[in-house]
Chain A
Amino acid sequence: MSLLPWTITLTFAGALLALVVGRRSAAAARWVALLTAAGGWSLTLLAAARFVPGPGLQTLVDAAWIPGLGVRYHLAVDGISLTLLVLTGLVATAGVLFSWNIGERTGEFFAFFLTLVAGVYGVFLSADALVFFVFYEIAIVPKYFLIAIWGSTNREYGAMKLALYSFAGSALVLAGLLWTYAVGGAHGFGFGELAAAAATLSPHQQVVVFALVFFGFATLAGIFPLHTWAPTGHVAAPTAASMLLAGVVMKLGAYGCLRVALPLSPLGFAFWQTPIAWLAAIGIVYAGLVALVQQDLKFVIGYSSVSHMGFVLLGLAAANTRAASGAVLQMFSHGVIAGLLFAVVGRMIYDRTHTRMLAELRALPLRRLLPFAAVVFVIAGFASMGLPGFSGFPAELTILIGVWRTAPLWAAVAALGVLVAAAFTLRAIQLTFFATPERPSLPGGARPFEPVLHLAPITLAEKAGAVLLIGATVLVGLRPDLLLDWINPALQSPLFHAVLKGGAP
């Protein structure tokens, strides 16, 4: 089982190598990035093949790091982190494939990209809150540069806003953790130790500490009303960065909520449960409604991410193992689907047409010019709507089942979100690809006048990336138990006992 720590090392090494060889040849940097990402993904898959699901974290590496503070370089894995590690590898690989056309400072681009990925691997593997936090910070920095240098629309604004929100969120987390450590008299930063320390705090303090840590992480998960960094950041980012941001980085926040915040203080959680659930439910519907009126296609996808992450947060707020397992499944599902959507919009459409405005796209016969993009966007769109057969469906179903147990009203609001998601997704599909009507019945097969346009054909790299992601969403859609069998035992861990209520039936 000691394969997984190598994902971090390998990816950092790949980042360095991409930077070095990138000075000589862009092509070499691309291949280094692809091999690194695919290598990291393969490691996660190999580890997954050998993984024995069980409750609790399975330690991979445990070494003293800062003895004075009791900080240990402790890496461990359970079914939840494994799910997200596999997701990270998958999205990173697809991301490289969709960045094959980056021509400007290619080496640096992939160096930042891989650093971000390595940070994410680190976060998902950490079993020590401080190590977790360090990797978390490592992941924030490259995001800024990826957007500010290679981004598009309003990139300085988007990058700055995203970085500030991220740092503010992590400052809250750090404050909460240090408070617990210092006041609670902990001897280390293991999740269990921190929870034990938090239990010694007064109820009042626990409520505050929990709020600091949870909302700090939830900011990155795009909780309403702290979500506004997400659409602007996603839109400004280059395609691969959007894919990582929406696909994986937002999961860091949700993962932090589940792994660090929830076990930290059951008492604090009990206090905040209802407000969190309502914020999540409002986020689902509100972001969906906002997506419904966007004029920029990428903003539609950006807001849809906020809406879908609302499901994750709602699943966590419902506080039972059923809903939590749905939330983790939704993290995976959204990671794949959002990646796919951003790939179509950012890479397949925008890089060719140089517009994302629906009013302009609808005037183009995109369906005929880019039939492959049309098919992928339709599949991704229907997957994103939560249609069965794709991963979003079992995830949302599981969340709804869990939420019913806790509070039916939340489930009803979430169902409204499903409807809104269908509306904005279908609108985007229709305006982008199906707004120019085919008129098969015109006499003599003549077509109405249309400008002669040539767009570069879809490349092999794009096709490969799209096939990977579609394959993943369909596989999990048909066999969600592949992941649920990892996730469910992990949720039986003693760490979650105090927070998550039982699973049966």
Chain B
Amino acid sequence: MSALPLLSTLVFTPWLGALLLAALPRLGGPASRALALAFSLSTLALALLALRGFDPAATGYQFVERHDWIAALNVHYHLGLDGLSLLLVLLTALLAPVSLLASWRGVADPRLFGALFLLLQGAVLGVFLALDFFHWFAFWELSLIPAYFLIRLWGGPGAGPAAYQFVIYTIGGSAFLLLGFAAIFAATGTLDFVQLARLGADGTLAARLAALGGFWPKAVFLGIFLGFAVKVPLYPLHTWLPPAYAEAPTGVSMFLTGVLSKMGVYGFLRLLWPLFPGPLHAAAGPLLWLALGGVVLGAFAAMRQTDLKRMIAYSSVNHLSYCLLALFAIAAAGGRPGAGRGAVAAALSGTLLQIFNHGVSAAALFYCIGVLEARAGGRRGLDDFGGVRAAAPIFAGLCGIAMFASLGLPGLNGFVGEFLIFRGVWGLVPWAAAVACLGLFATAFFLLTFWQRVFHGPRAGAAAGAFADLSGLDFAVLGPLTALMFLLGVLPQLLTGLFNPLITSWAAHLPLP
């Protein structure tokens, strides 16, 4: 490729910005914000550069960087980009600057905030690009530290316990992840994702792990599974999510739900599925139920919330569970002669679209709640507002678009992803698709309740007095997100074009148990 190691630059430029911010203690508020934003935008520029050089037809990794690192543990510094990583890098590139903009005002100590945010951004990019467990896990774990402090220091009154719970849950998952990979290294002597995927596909990994005997091969699978399931989160491991998202400041909630929650799904797609096709197939039955639990109960729980932020947090559980539903449906049908490659491809591209679309629309919704909160002096209850549409028509319009996108209205981005997931799951495991419909209804119900109670009716509650419509800053945040919702609703091929060949190849080489 080019002389510039593009992917390393992509990962480490935000960290450079964080370092710079940390090293300039006298930097004022506005300068800190501008510097943080500039470094955050670097990812967008570099991601577009990667997009330009990216060849969608090639299904292998591109822009690969591989250097010797720790010979004693057979660790190499290995970065690479394929359609899946590119999708997530683009999502990060979009949401990171937008989330920073969302935190432009009302954030004490913007220098520290910016430094931590850039640290988080770099770590997340590292997770999406690293191809060796050693530094992949480093990025995975290091993303927790800034996230913890962003919630703890800038969050709401319950931020202490929420941040603690968030970290302990995730580290708990990671401890088992670590244990699992220790076992994999003990069995194969490598931690390179590409080599491991090859060993997983030809059954060598399963055979080597089987040598452990007894329950242990299953335990390895379970450990790695737990690590990702907590992160997504899969029902019933989701209980850390609503408090963490609800207590985090608006910009951080946006980034957490938009990007961080995708790390778990990415883990499932990049590691668990290729490495453990057999065990995943064997466990798919119960796992489908858990995913359905997330889809249905997540939506019903959202229906019962009176705190709008918690409502959207639960709706994230619901939306992410669709991704897992599709994946488990593929795993369940894998190996069955009737399982159509077409259904598999549909479910997969639906999953990838959903990853991106949920990021965009959930971030927009969290921002809308932030707007309500800022104008109501920190209140964000379902009953604290009324008639906001009359007070702030433009805001109501944009918020409505985000809601309908989240709902899956055709013409907006959310529809395509969910439609493809349903089409795929229907073809693979019909009953699961039927049960998941319950989640769709509940989602429609709570989002419409939100819409009706807050925006319709006579002006009441916090909207009774002066209630300013969107400011220029608000437009800067919601504008790009809304534009994307329309654009991707009408032209989903802009994204699917990036990963369709990859998906076709996955579906064709579907690891059969």
Interface residues of A, Cβ cutoff 8 Å to B:
322, 325, 378, 382, 385, 387-389, 393-394, 396-398, 400-405, 408, 411-412, 414-416, 418-419, 422-423, 426-427, 430, 434-435, 437-438, 440-441, 445, 479-481, 484-485, 488, 504-505
Residue pair B182, A422 in contact (C-beta under 8 Å): no
Complex Cα spacing A488 to B187, Å:
19
B137 to chain A, nearest CB (A): 5
Known: A401-B182, A484-B72. A440 touches B106 (CB 8 A): yes
Extra contacts, 16 of them, besides A411-B179, A415-B223 (Cβ < 8 A), are: A393-B138, A394-B73, A400-B178, A400-B179, A401-B186, A405-B186, A408-B219, A411-B183, A412-B219, A416-B175, A422-B171, A422-B172, A430-B160, A480-B70, A481-B70, A505-B189
Known: A400-B178, A430-B164. A440 touches B107 (CB 8 A): yes
Q: How far, in whole Å, are A415 and B163 apart by their CA atoms in the complex?
A: 22
Contact present for A434 and B185 (CB under 8 Å): no
Among residues of A, the one whose C-beta sits closest to the C-beta of B180 is A415
B212 contact set on A, CB distance < 8 A: 404, 408
A-B contact pairs, 27 of them (CB 8 A): A388-B134, A388-B135, A389-B138, A393-B138, A400-B178, A401-B182, A402-B186, A403-B182, A404-B187, A411-B179, A412-B179, A412-B219, A418-B171, A419-B172, A422-B167, A426-B148, A426-B168, A427-B164, A430-B163, A434-B160, A440-B107, A445-B108, A481-B72, A484-B73, A485-B72, A488-B72, A504-B189
**CB-defined contacts of A385 to chain B, threshold 8 Å:** 171
Q: In the complex, which residues of chain A have a beta carbon less than 8 angstroms from the beta carbon of B154?
A: 438, 440
A contact residues around B499 at 8 Å (CB): none
B68-102 contacts to A (CB < 8 Å): 69-74
A445 to B108, CA, bound (A): 9
Complex Cα distance A402/B73, Å? 12
User: Which residues on the B side are within 8 Å of A437 (C-beta)?
Assistant: 157, 159-160
Q: In the docked arrangement, what's the CA distance between A322 and B109, Å? A: 46
CA separation between A437 and B138, bound complex, in Å?
Answer: 29
B434 within 8 A of A: no
Chain A: minimal CB distance from B11 (Å): 14
Contact A422 B175 (CB under 8 A): yes
B164 contact set on A, CB distance < 8 A: 426-427, 430
Whether the pair A382, B216 counts as a contact (CB closer than 8 A) is no
- Tally of contacts, chain A with chain B, CB under 8 A: 120
**0/1 per residue, B180-221, Cβ < 8 Å to A?**
001101111110000000000000000000001000100100
Contact partners of A403 in chain B: CB under 8 A = 182
Assess whether B70 is in contact with A397, with CB atoms less than 8 Å apart. no
Name the residue of chain B whose CB is nearest to the CB of A438: B153
A387 touches B159 (CB 8 A): no
In the bound complex, CA of A323 to CA of B106 (Å):
51
Chain B 96-133 interface residues, beta-carbon cutoff 8 Å to A: 106-109
Interface residues of B (CB under 8 A from A): 69-74, 106-109, 134-135, 137-138, 141-142, 144-145, 148, 152-154, 157, 159-160, 163-164, 167-168, 171-172, 175-176, 178-179, 182-183, 185-190, 212, 216, 219, 223, 378
Residue numbers in B under 8 Å from A414 (CB-CB): 179
A404 to B223, CA, bound (A): 13
Contact between A404 and B175 (Cβ–Cβ < 8 Å)? no
Distance of A479 Cα from B138 Cα, bound (Å): 13
With a cutoff of 8 Å between Cβ atoms, the chain A residues found around residue B142 in the complex are 387-389
Is A481 touching B71 in the complex (CB atoms < 8 A)? yes
Q: Which residues of A contact B159 (CB under 8 A)?
A: 437
Known A-B contacts A388-B142, A419-B175, A438-B153; A480 and B107 likewise in contact (beta carbons under 8 Å):
no
> Which A residues are CB-close (under 8 A) to B70?
394, 479-481, 484
Contact partners of A422 in chain B: CB under 8 A? 167-168, 171-172, 175
> Using Cβ atoms and an 8 Å threshold, which residues of chain B touch A440?
106-109, 154
A466 to chain B, nearest CB (A): 15
| Nearest opposing residue in chain B for A403, CB measure | B182
Give A403 Cβ to nearest chain B Cβ, in Å: 8
**For residue B190, which residues in chain A have a CB less than 8 angstroms away from its CB?**
505
Q: Cβ of B178: which chain A residues have Cβ within 8 Å of it?
A: 396-397, 400, 415, 418
User: Is B168 in contact with A505, judged by CB distance below 8 angstroms?
Assistant: no
- The smallest beta-carbon distance between B12 and chain A, in angstroms, is 13
The residue of chain A having its C-beta at the shortest distance from the C-beta of B153 within the complex is: A438
* Option from A382, A400, A488 in Cβ contact (under 8 Å) with B145: A382
Q: How far is the CA of A178 from the CA of B158 in the complex (A)?
A: 62
Cβ–Cβ < 8 Å partners of B185 in chain A = 397, 401
Nearest 8 Cβ contacts at the A-B interface = A505-B189, A440-B108, A388-B138, A400-B182, A484-B72, A415-B179, A404-B186, A422-B171
Residue of A408, A411, A419, A441 touching B171 (CB-CB under 8 A): A419
CB-based nearest B residue for A443: B377
Residues of A within 8 A of B109 (CB): 440
B251 to chain A, nearest CB (A): 13
Tell me, rounded to whole Å, the shortest Cβ–Cβ distance linking A359 to chain B: 15
Alpha-carbon gap, A401 to B70, bound state (A): 15
Task: Give Cα distance in the complex from A427 to B171, angstroms.
Answer: 14
CB distance from B185 to the nearest CB of A (A): 5
A296 to chain B, nearest CB (A): 20
| Contacting pair B73 A434 (CB below 8 A) | no
Residues of chain A contacted by B216 (CB below 8 angstroms): 408
Contact status B72-A325, CB under 8 Å: yes
Bound-state CA distance A418–B168 (Å) is: 11
- Residues of chain B with a CB closer than 8 A to A480's CB: 70, 72-73
CB distance from A483 to the nearest CB of B (A): 9
Choose among B72, B74, B216, B223 the residue with the greatest number of A CB atoms under 10 Å from its CB.
B72
Determine the chain A residues whose CB is within 8 A of the CB of B134 once the complex forms. 388, 394, 397
Measured between beta carbons, the chain A residues less than 8 angstroms from B108 are 438, 440, 445
**CB nearest to B140 among chain A residues:** A388
- CA of A415 to CA of B168, assembled, Å: 14
- The minimal Cβ–Cβ distance linking A484 to chain B, given in whole angstroms, is 4
- B-side contacts of A322, CB under 8 Å: 186
A441 pairs with B378, CB closer than 8 A: yes
Contact of B152 among A411, A419, A434, A481 (CB under 8 A): A434
Query: Most A CB atoms within 10 A — which of B141, B152, B182, B190?
Result: B182
Shortest distance from the beta carbon of B466 to any chain A beta carbon, whole Å: 17
Q: Smallest CB–CB gap between A101 and chain B, Å? A: 25
Bound complex: CA A260 to CA B138 (Å): 36
Q: B34 CB to closest chain A CB, in angstroms?
A: 19
- CB-CB under 8 A from B157, the residues of chain A are 437
Q: Which residue of A lies closest to B187 (CB)?
A: A404
For residue A427, which residues in chain B have a CB less than 8 angstroms away from its CB?
164
Q: Given the interface contacts A422-B175, A434-B160, A485-B72, does A387 sit within 8 Å of B145 by beta carbon? A: yes
Cβ of A378: which chain B residues have Cβ within 8 Å of it?
A: 145
Q: Which residues of A contact B171 (CB under 8 A)?
A: 385, 418-419, 422
Question: Which one of B109, B160, B183 has the highest number of Cβ atoms from chain A below 10 Å of its Cβ?
Answer: B183
Q: Which single member of A388, A396, A404, A479 contacts B183 (CB below 8 Å)?
A: A404
Alpha-carbon distance A422/B167, docked complex (angstroms): 9
A505 to B204, CA, bound (A): 15
Q: Hey, which chain B residues are within 8 Å of A408, CB to CB?
A: 183, 212, 216, 219
B294 to chain A, nearest CB (A): 23
**A505 pairs with B188, CB closer than 8 A:** yes
Q: Are B168 and A397 in contact (CB under 8 A)?
A: no
Kindly list chain A residues whose C-beta atoms are within 8 Å of the C-beta of B186: 322, 401-402, 404-405
Within the complex, the shortest CB–CB distance from B404 to chain A, in Å, comes to 31
Contact of A418 among B145, B175, B219, B378 (CB under 8 A): B175
Contacts of B219 in A (CB 8 A): 408, 412
CA distance A392 to B145 in the complex (A): 16
A115 to B: closest C-beta gap in Å: 36
Chain B residues in 8 Å Cβ range of A479:
70
Chain A residue contacts of B167, Cβ below 8 A: 422, 426
Residues of chain B contacted by A415 (CB below 8 angstroms): 175-176, 178-179, 223
A325 to B71, CA, bound (A): 14
User: Complex: how many Å from CA A385 to CA B170?
Assistant: 13
Residues from chain A with Cβ under 8 Å of B71 in the complex: 481, 485
Q: How far is the CB of A293 from chain B (nearest CB, A)?
A: 15
Q: How far is the CA of A398 from the CA of B285 in the complex (A)?
A: 35
